[in-house]
Structure 1
Amino acid sequence: MDLSLYLVTDRSLLPVGKPHLEALEQALIGGVTVVQIREKVADTAEFLRVARESKALCDRYNVPLLVNDRVDIALAINARGVHLGQSDMPIDIARKLMPKGSIIGISCNSLHDVRRARESKADYVGLGAVWDTQTKKLTSSPIGVRGLGVLLEALDGSDIQAVAIGGIKSTNLARLLHGSVSRTNHTLDGVAVVSDIVASPNPETAARRLKSIFNACKRCILDSPAQNFVWSRGEILDNVTTIMDGVRTLSPLVHQMTNIVVSNQSANITLAVGASPIMATAPEEMSDLSKLSNGLLVNIGTLVGGSVQGMLKGGYFVNAAKNPVVLDPVGVGASDFRKSSVNELLNAWQPTVIKGNAGELAALAGSSEAASKGVDSTGGFQDPINFTRQLARKERCVVVLTGETDYVSDGKRVLMLKNGHSLLGKVTGSGCMLGSVITAYCAAANALASEDDEHEGRLTRSGDFLSAAVGAVLTLTIASEFAAKREDVHGMGTFLPALLDEVAALRPENIRQLAKVEEVE
């Protein structure tokens, strides 16, 4: 059964004057591949009437119809199957009652639910709710986009299909599909949608839009940049120099929502690499700024409640504009508020790059291997190579692990970088400045990518963000080596302005000559 666009009906959401069967037929014409009739308040006679009429219509379009909860209704109309909740009839009993070959699906909100569904031999699982939804009273907290990967991984080796449900709309579908892939590359088979189709004045258009995004995203997942970019070390350095030149030629506008401690340094380092900074946090500006900027940095160093809303909207609109978003989860392990805020951000939008020290990335990954004190890391990883690769694979983005040795991964390859000077780690905001440089380089990489790669399935063009991140790290670390050798540098106070000068003076040939980069397994 093709579950790609799974419509769940709800007559209470229909626009005034829009009959149920008219809306359903338009949705079928628009590309809905399976229909579930859900009637939470109708009595049995009315439910039977609506289900019978809907079944006749679905049969005309050769689209299977399932019935929510009610095995008796499904039997009465000869439905293709039923969808059960965790408190409904057990699957094994429903299987005995339903005709042979009937489809039986079940809602799952946890790993325990998925494992039980697998043991019960469900045909498919409905995973969610992903986000809050007004169409159904939730009995469990939303699992978020990032929670789907773990549940999908539990289906590895089985024939059970999976659809996501809960708050899914055309505006967040690309983020959902991109971010829900498991570490084992298990993907969703479809998405269940309610209000975005049912409440639309034009269900056919709404369904076509959703189906188009779904198909485009599926192609992107199968044809991801991480699988295609297999350049050698020399080719990566060639790409780095192209991106460096691109920053100075294009002067991308870099929107930075950064902490108040380092906003001046962040703006100056952005100017030093050849880009232009804009610092703004008001939620009301995010839509307009996303149309002007070429990339967004979200740095949570001095996080306050109001700023989270700006960050949520900022990332959302920049995703929609297909420009890169860089997340710097500064001190994320310091408080539950920071942890919950970052989780909320990552469930709302897709980062292009996540940059952090060992303590920050360990907290983000839920690992206790590396700790932090405030914004500083107090430990490292026994296996930083695999940690960086696994986190990049889980978050489906480039990850930069900073430290005495830096590691950069796209989830497939890991590059180890060994440039830098000890003074760089002693000045306030050096890590935050790196976030600014990464964003500028990603903005240039995105702008330099082929326009053929800009379609609705991607959240950016397929720019070379691995090389962009590597280039940004090399720019700052090699410049720090030059700055530390200057006669006018006597310590932290004189090092910072010298660093800005050296970043501005750095040229591609310096990168080629001095880069200490190697690919590691």
Structure 2
Amino acid sequence: MAKDIDYSVYLVTGRDLLPPGKDYLESLEESIQGGVTVVQVREKDADTGEFIKIATESKRICDKYNVPLIINDRVDVALAVGADGVHVGQDDMEITLARKLLHAGTVLGLSCNTAEHVAEAVKLGVDYVGIGAVWGTKTKNLTNPIIGVRGVGERLKELDGTGIKAIAIGGIKSSNLWRTLHGSISVSGRALDGVAVVSDIVASRSPKEAATALSNIVRAFKDDQSQVRSLSTKNGVIDKVSEFVNKIRTVGPLVHQITNNVVATQSANVTLAVGASPIMATEPVEMEDLAKICGALLINIGTLRADGLDGPRLAGSFANKYRKPIVFDPVGVGATSFRKECVKELLDLFQVGVIKGNAGEMAALAGTSEVLSKGVDSVGSGFRDPVSFVRDFAKRERCVVVLTGPIDYISDGTSVAVLENGDPLLGKITGSGCMLGSIIAAFCATAMHEAEVQDNERTRIVDLERLFVGAIAGVLVLTVASEIVAKRPEVKGPGTFLPALIDGLAGVSAQDVRSHAKVTIY
């Protein structure tokens, strides 16, 4: 039987990456002290004698800390030094032959780029797979396409029902580790067992600190995965929504909005009306500073330009870095190939907390033709089973999904809230959907402010339970306010409805929401 290995932080060595003056063995020992759980020695350019020497010295240090040693490619070197395992690529020695040559109990790993590679690895009976490359990397010449974070989950589902472990490989570092771990989960919930890291540790002058940072993130992610959600009833959700409606004016969160310039003023006004503060900024050089101080980020692609992508790219990346929730509004994504390509790039780059859109937009994102889009509007009667759709889509994207329409459907991948509030006049004014995105972002910021106060610091890249309720709160506040103001005698149509709606949002109370809410939880 192969040795039971903790793959959490899987170090792949690379002596050519060491900082000037840093000794290889010193760096290796410090990295293990920092939290590396398994070491793979990779020596692409060393001759056999030199490889064996380096592997022997590495094993001495690994044995000192009871950390398994894996040899890259070379079965002969692994046998010579008594290594715990061998990792091979698709073009290296065949797994069946390697298994015959190695001692019983030796761990065997295989690099996989496609779902077919993973399925074949299962048939071959490997102990673990390395899936990637997830991100671009300078430490290895890539012969296969980068699969992206979202592509890992598609490959992980091939491991369902097996005991085979999985690590992600390729360009992983502390700055993208949360995104990698959170986004790399199959629809069935199969997560990574660890990540392979090279330059983030080896190239560091402080490898112990670098390894500790990575180890802490992996540990926090695994702890998060073991937590059980508690909100699954209508009363529980409404109670929490009411709490957020009461809190938002006290918290007064700052909401950074990169939004549709057609309705930027309206979006800012409704943000102020519900009790938050907007900042409408698109300059890339400001993105990190804003991520530090804002409570949430809204990215709305309604009027996105090819030369304006740097702002959303950086804003989303920094929001992940500082654990700020991202609300993503893929306006008209199905209308053009440009929008589809931009959205794919952005969703591969950073982890969003909430995706909000109408049926046509969601169908385009999900890759189904069940609902079509016409510009920014949907065509057709909608999804045949919207409850299952939003649940499955939320589970796939590892976020909260808000499907808007005459009836709104919201899911965190487990529960689905069906909301039946709203006046038809909402569909008669420009930008009501964009305004909803702003309001959802404001309540998600309020929800995460609670997490910051209670947990002292934000560790999770996405808090599904809090964002689920934050999204419900945003939708209910807008739709309930619309019902209340539509009955006012001064509201004659769309032209008088919009200013009345802003007034209504400024005055809507938790009791209004509680008494009007038409919510079903599945």
Contact 1:75–1:98 (Cα < 8 Å) also in 2? yes
CA 1:456–1:512: 2 relative to 1, 3 Å: closer
Moved more, 45-54 or 83-92: 45-54
Superposition pairs of residues 368-379 of structure 1, within 5 angstroms: 368-379=369-380
The 2-side partners of 1:467 and 1:216 are apart by 22
Contact 1:178–1:221 (Cα < 8 Å) also in 2? no
Superposition pairs of residues 286-297 of structure 1, within 5 angstroms: 286-297=287-298
Q: From 410, 413, 416, give the equivalent of 2:412.
A: 410
CA 1:462–1:422: 2 relative to 1, 3 Å: closer
1:389 corresponds to which residue?
391
Local SS of the residue matching 2:187: coil
Contact 2:452–2:458 (Cα < 8 Å) also in 1? no
The 1-side partners of 2:457 and 2:273 are apart by 32
Superposition pairs of residues 70-109 of structure 1, within 5 angstroms: 70-109=74-113
Q: Which digits, 9 at most, give the CA deviation of each residue in 1:328-348, with x for residues without a partner?
A: 111112223322322222222
Contact 2:134–2:147 (Cα < 8 Å) also in 1? yes
Q: From 478, 492, 506, give the equivalent of 1:476.
A: 478
The 2-side partners of 1:462 and 1:330 are apart by 23
Contact 1:392–1:398 (Cα < 8 Å) also in 2? yes
The 2-side partners of 1:240 and 1:347 are apart by 31
Local SS of the residue matching 1:154: helix
The 1-side partners of 2:186 and 2:101 are apart by 34
The 2-side partners of 1:229 and 1:468 are apart by 15
The 2-side partners of 1:359 and 1:203 are apart by 48
Superposition pairs of residues 7-86 of structure 1, within 5 angstroms: 7-86=11-90
Q: CA deviation at 1:475?
A: 1.3
The 2-side partners of 1:387 and 1:181 are apart by 18
The 2-side partners of 1:132 and 1:212 are apart by 23
Superposition pairs of residues 488-503 of structure 1, within 5 angstroms: 488-503=490-505
2:469 corresponds to which residue?
467
Superposition pairs of residues 40-439 of structure 1, within 5 angstroms: 40-223=44-227, 227-379=228-380, 380-439=382-441
Local SS of the residue matching 1:333: coil
Read off the aligned partner of 1:83 and give its amino acid letter.
Answer: H
Read off the aligned partner of 1:424 and give its amino acid letter.
Answer: L
Read off the aligned partner of 2:192 and give its amino acid letter.
Answer: L
The 1-side partners of 2:519 and 2:348 are apart by 33
Contact 1:8–1:37 (Cα < 8 Å) also in 2? yes
Local SS of the residue matching 1:27: helix
Local SS of the residue matching 1:72: helix
Moved more, 71-80 or 460-469: 460-469
The 1-side partners of 2:459 and 2:165 are apart by 22
Contact 1:323–1:461 (Cα < 8 Å) also in 2? no
Q: Which digits, 9 at most, give the CA deviation of each residue in 1:300-351, with x for residues without a partner?
A: 1111123322112112222222222111111112223322322222222222
Moved more, 403-412 or 169-178: 169-178
Contact 1:272–1:500 (Cα < 8 Å) also in 2? yes
Q: CA deviation at 1:137?
A: 1.1
Consecutive unaligned residues of structure 2, counting only runs of 5 or more, are none
Q: CA deviation at 1:461?
A: 6.2
Local SS of the residue matching 2:309: helix
Q: Does 1:447 align with 2:457?
A: no
The 1-side partners of 2:69 and 2:458 are apart by 29
Contact 1:37–1:51 (Cα < 8 Å) also in 2? yes
Contact 1:423–1:491 (Cα < 8 Å) also in 2? yes
Local SS of the residue matching 1:334: coil
Q: CA deviation at 1:47?
A: 2.1
The 1-side partners of 2:186 and 2:457 are apart by 23
Contact 1:108–1:127 (Cα < 8 Å) also in 2? yes
Contact 1:449–1:463 (Cα < 8 Å) also in 2? no
Local SS of the residue matching 2:425: helix
TM-score (norm 1): 0.96
Contact 1:356–1:401 (Cα < 8 Å) also in 2? yes
The 2-side partners of 1:44 and 1:455 are apart by 49
Read off the aligned partner of 2:247 and give its amino acid letter.
Answer: G
Read off the aligned partner of 1:301 and give its amino acid letter.
Answer: G
Contact 2:354–2:399 (Cα < 8 Å) also in 1? yes
Q: CA deviation at 1:454?
A: 4.6
The 2-side partners of 1:338 and 1:173 are apart by 27
Read off the aligned partner of 1:490 and give its amino acid letter.
Answer: K
The 2-side partners of 1:231 and 1:126 are apart by 36
The 1-side partners of 2:266 and 2:201 are apart by 47
CA 1:46–1:337: 2 relative to 1, 3 Å: farther
The 1-side partners of 2:270 and 2:467 are apart by 19
Query: What is the Cα-based RMSD across aligned positions, in Å?
Result: 1.6
TM-score (norm 2): 0.95
Q: Which digits, 9 at most, give the CA deviation of each residue in 1:372-427, with x for residues without a partner?
A: 11111113111100111111112222111001110111111111111112221121
The 2-side partners of 1:322 and 1:50 are apart by 40
Local SS of the residue matching 2:293: coil
The 2-side partners of 1:177 and 1:431 are apart by 31
Read off the aligned partner of 1:241 and give its amino acid letter.
Answer: S
- How many residues get paired? 517
The 1-side partners of 2:501 and 2:165 are apart by 54
Read off the aligned partner of 2:72 and give its amino acid letter.
Answer: N
Local SS of the residue matching 2:174: coil
Q: CA deviation at 1:95?
A: 0.7
Read off the aligned partner of 1:283 and give its amino acid letter.
Answer: P
The 2-side partners of 1:458 and 1:409 are apart by 19
Q: CA deviation at 1:450?
A: 5.9
2:487 corresponds to which residue?
485
Contact 1:446–1:463 (Cα < 8 Å) also in 2? no
Local SS of the residue matching 2:492: coil
Local SS of the residue matching 1:298: strand
The 2-side partners of 1:161 and 1:455 are apart by 31
Q: Which digits, 9 at most, give the CA deviation of each residue in 1:115-142, with x for residues without a partner?
A: 0111111110001111001111111221
Identity across the alignment (%): 56
Q: Which digits, 9 at most, give the CA deviation of each residue in 1:155-197, with x for residues without a partner?
A: 0111110001111111221221122122211111111000011
